[in-house]
A and B are shown apart, each in its own frame.
Chain A
Amino acid sequence: MTAEALLQVRDLKVHFKLRRGVGTPGGVVKAVDGVSFDLAAGRTLALVGESGCGKSTTAYAVIGLEQPTGGKVLFDGRDITHLRGADRAHLARDIQIVFQDPSAALNPKMSIADSVAEPLAIAGWTRNDRRKRIAELLDRVGLPATFAERLPSALSGGQRQRVVIARALALSPRLLILDEPVSALDVSIRSQVLNLLLELQRDLALAYLFISHDLSVVRHIADEAIVLYLGSVMERGPIDLMFEAPQHPYTKALLSAIPLPDPVQQRQREKIILTGDLPSPLAPPPGCPFISRCPTRVETCATARPELRPTISATEAACFLTR
């Protein structure tokens, strides 16, 4: 455990009990099943994986939007796993979240200034202080001061996402959870918002927990990545190693599935096409969660669950066959 880690997550579990009903047999969905990581100030950790892998649930459990059923979440050394009420509300000064769709995250009837000022008002700032802070924040995210009195409907998607980021920054948090922050934006706008996030991190030493299914974006912005599959960590490590020499068969398949915007490269490269679908989280395979789609599985994989262990490329992978 590194001393400087701002956020420490230990063996986090979020299990959902499903009641029996029409069409549902009941059972337990292990949405997150034993995820651990450290995140330091000024660093970005990406949670990567396909739908249902538990990346968003992990992030929601960190800020208490989901109740962890096991494990620990420490922020600045303090156990925040089960904080409630006023303590949880107070934590919102330090940890904020930005969602994918800025249009859904802003009240359409509230002016930009009011939206950005809402956390300040709740924290008891005076009207005058709020006004000054709003001007600072809009400037910080690259929006003209004249936007303050506008409604979200007068803004483009990229501008709205800047407003959401400004609001998240209002109380000077130390950790931002970014849940697919550029996925809903047009391609020509994405790089503007990614640049803004990089700049904010450099200037404010923010820690980012970054959730994305877009691996080229992840590679550009993150320092480390955790690859999740059915709630379990398949591989984790520094981003460059993970992309240059992935060791887990799932990481390899995931990386090979990104279509590169270069026809020559894209047509020449060897593609690993996984067969089958993601298994139902209600009936995960015993043994390795990836077994049903793994091109290199062996007998052991069906009975024992591989633990994370160091690989030759200095990542950690949960696979019996990696060296």
Chain B
Amino acid sequence: MSAATIPVLAIDDLVVEIGGNRIVDHVSLSVGSGRILAIVGESGCGKSLTALSVLGLLPRAARVAGGEIRLNGRDLLPLGEDALSDVRGNEATIIFQEPVASLNPLMRVGEQVEEALRLHRGLSPTAAREEAIAMMTRVGIPDAARRARQYPFELSGGMCQRIMIASALICRPALLIADEPTTALDVTIQAQILELMRDLRGDVGTAIVLITHDMGVVADLADDVCVMYGGRVVESGSVEATFASPRHPYTKLLLATIPTLHGRRKTTLRTIEGMVPSADSWPDGCRFRTRCPLADEACREVPHLADVGHNHAAACWHTARVEALA
């Protein structure tokens, strides 16, 4: 493979276990330079654990039990804590849902943006400050030099998320993981942050993994999408193909349950029966089969991701019948 075609992030057959339960079960995905991949799914589907594994940030109870995670071709899993800290904040960074909780309340925000530069690039305080202020301006913080001297409590949630983004991008990382970056924000502020992320991908060239439960955010921002259910990828493909003709019943139904802005009001909405199962009660075979209207005997066997079109794959024995599901 030539250097140009190596994806920035390639996860291959990742398995993450918590107390013997496979929370992430043979997940594979990749994202190229300047691309945005969305991992979408409901609580407990394994989307956040998949992302946290990349940076070695799994909670203590969880452990990677198999697979490979390659950042620009280098396998991250065998790396020790020291080598990983060189990667974190430098080549790969992460921002979380709660910007205010992610920032150090006792440190001026400017210093928090500079931190990675001084740690990884050994810049002088003056040079680091200048670069931090330039990056803060770039992410849309007005009057950045004054703001840099303020503490997180003096800034709004949207501003704090901009600070997080500035500090995540300051070392021009190859990969940015954004874990529900707009979920805690008001809708008009969410629109600002989405626009900012759309804007930044072009000039920084960073590959972005966007973790979200919001199909609207996926449709707005992502190039490709990975739909997860019960710790597995059930569908993946370009956003256009996946939304236009979903080929896994879960994706299809999930999109159909969301009220639209032009449908008939007060009608009975499409539902998915049952509830999101927890990891200790996942069925054998296809994990969606207990809620799936298409399920039959075949589904007792695990379906693997198979191509259903160009850059589009689904893990279902009945992909041909999904379209007729209404």
A219 within 8 A of B: yes
CB distance from A143 to the nearest CB of B (A): 12
Query: Which residues from chain A contact B255 at a C-beta distance below 8 Å?
Result: 261
> In the complex, A215 Cα to B216 Cα: how many Å?
12
> B269 to A194, Cβ gap below 8 A?
yes
> B219 to A261, Cβ gap below 8 A?
yes
A106 within 8 A of B: no
Known contacts A195-B271, A198-B266; decide if A187 and B158 are in contact (CB<8 Å). no
> B239 to A219, Cβ gap below 8 A?
no
Using CB atoms, name the residue of chain B closest to A271. B191
> A188 to B42, Cβ gap below 8 A?
yes
User: Which residues from 257 to 310 on chain A have a C-beta closer than 8 Å to any C-beta of chain B?
Assistant: 257-267, 271, 273-275, 277-278, 293
A221 within 8 A of B: yes
Q: Say which one of B20-28, B70-78, B98-106, B256-264 lies at the interface with A.
A: B256-264
Query: Which residues from chain A contact B253 at a C-beta distance below 8 Å?
Result: 188
Known contacts A191-B270, A195-B271; decide if A277 and B189 are in contact (CB<8 Å). yes
CB < 8 Å neighbour of A266 from B42, B195, B219, B259: B219
CB < 8 Å neighbour of A257 from B188, B257, B270: B188
> In the complex, A90 Cα to B42 Cα: how many Å?
41
> A190 to B42, Cβ gap below 8 A?
no
B282 within 8 A of A: no
B119 within 8 A of A: no
Q: By CB atoms of chain B within 10 A, which of A187, A192, A220, A278 has the most? A: A187
CB < 8 Å neighbour of A186 from B43, B190, B263: B43
CB < 8 Å neighbour of A159 from B189, B220, B258, B275: B275
CB < 8 Å neighbour of A220 from B158, B188, B266: B266
CB distance from A272 to the nearest CB of B (A): 8
> In the complex, A165 Cα to B265 Cα: how many Å?
22
Using CB atoms, name the residue of chain A closest to B153. A23
> A264 to B156, Cβ gap below 8 A?
no
Query: Which residues from chain A contact B218 at a C-beta distance below 8 Å?
Result: 261, 263
A156 within 8 A of B: yes
B272 within 8 A of A: yes
> B216 to A261, Cβ gap below 8 A?
yes
Interface band, chain A: 35 or more
> B158 to A216, Cβ gap below 8 A?
no
A158 within 8 A of B: yes
CB < 8 Å neighbour of B258 from A50, A215, A216, A255: A216
A94 within 8 A of B: no
> In the complex, A156 Cα to B42 Cα: how many Å?
13
Using CB atoms, name the residue of chain B closest to A272. B191
A51 within 8 A of B: yes
Query: Which residues from chain A contact B159 at a C-beta distance below 8 Å?
Result: 277
> A239 to B189, Cβ gap below 8 A?
no
> In the complex, A244 Cα to B98 Cα: how many Å?
33
> A257 to B191, Cβ gap below 8 A?
yes
Using CB atoms, name the residue of chain A closest to B258. A261
> B189 to A261, Cβ gap below 8 A?
no
Using CB atoms, name the residue of chain B closest to A198. B266
- Binary contact readout B184-208 vs A (1 if CB under 8 angstroms, 0 otherwise): 0011111110110000000000000
Interface band, chain B: 35 or more
A38 within 8 A of B: no
> In the complex, A244 Cα to B258 Cα: how many Å?
19
CB distance from A252 to the nearest CB of B (A): 11
Q: By CB atoms of chain A within 10 A, which of B158, B239, B272, B275 has the most? A: B275
B240 within 8 A of A: yes
Query: Which residues from chain B contact A215 at a C-beta distance below 8 Å?
Result: 187, 261
Query: Which residues from chain B contact A265 at a C-beta distance below 8 Å?
Result: 219
Query: Which residues from chain B contact A240 at a C-beta distance below 8 Å?
Result: 265
Using CB atoms, name the residue of chain B closest to A218. B259
CB < 8 Å neighbour of B275 from A156, A198, A255, A266: A156
> In the complex, A220 Cα to B190 Cα: how many Å?
22
CB distance from B195 to the nearest CB of A (A): 5
CB distance from A267 to the nearest CB of B (A): 8
A105 within 8 A of B: no
> In the complex, A293 Cα to B218 Cα: how many Å?
27
> B257 to A50, Cβ gap below 8 A?
no
CB distance from A221 to the nearest CB of B (A): 7
> B271 to A264, Cβ gap below 8 A?
no
CB distance from A155 to the nearest CB of B (A): 9
B276 within 8 A of A: yes
B172 within 8 A of A: no
- Binary contact readout B236-256 vs A (1 if CB under 8 angstroms, 0 otherwise): 000110011000000001110
User: Which residues from 215 to 249 on chain A have a C-beta closer than 8 Å to any C-beta of chain B?
Assistant: 215-217, 219-221, 239-240, 243
CB < 8 Å neighbour of B216 from A157, A194, A213, A259: A259
CB distance from B7 to the nearest CB of A (A): 22
Q: By CB atoms of chain B within 10 A, which of A189, A217, A263, A293 has the most? A: A263
A191-B257, A256-B191 known; 15 other A-B pairs, CB under 8 Å?
Answer: A188-B257, A191-B269, A215-B187, A259-B190, A259-B194, A259-B219, A260-B219, A260-B220, A260-B261, A261-B218, A263-B218, A267-B220, A273-B191, A273-B192, A273-B195
25 contacts between A and B (CB under 8 A): A50-B187, A157-B275, A158-B275, A187-B254, A188-B42, A188-B254, A188-B276, A189-B272, A190-B257, A194-B269, A195-B271, A198-B266, A213-B186, A221-B266, A243-B261, A254-B187, A254-B188, A256-B191, A258-B187, A259-B214, A259-B216, A261-B258, A267-B219, A275-B192, A277-B159
Residue positions of A touching B, CB distance < 8 A: 50-51, 156-159, 186-192, 194-195, 198-199, 213, 215-217, 219-221, 239-240, 243, 253-267, 271, 273-275, 277-278, 293
Which 3 pairs show the lowest CB-CB distances between chains A and B?
A259-B216, A220-B259, A261-B215
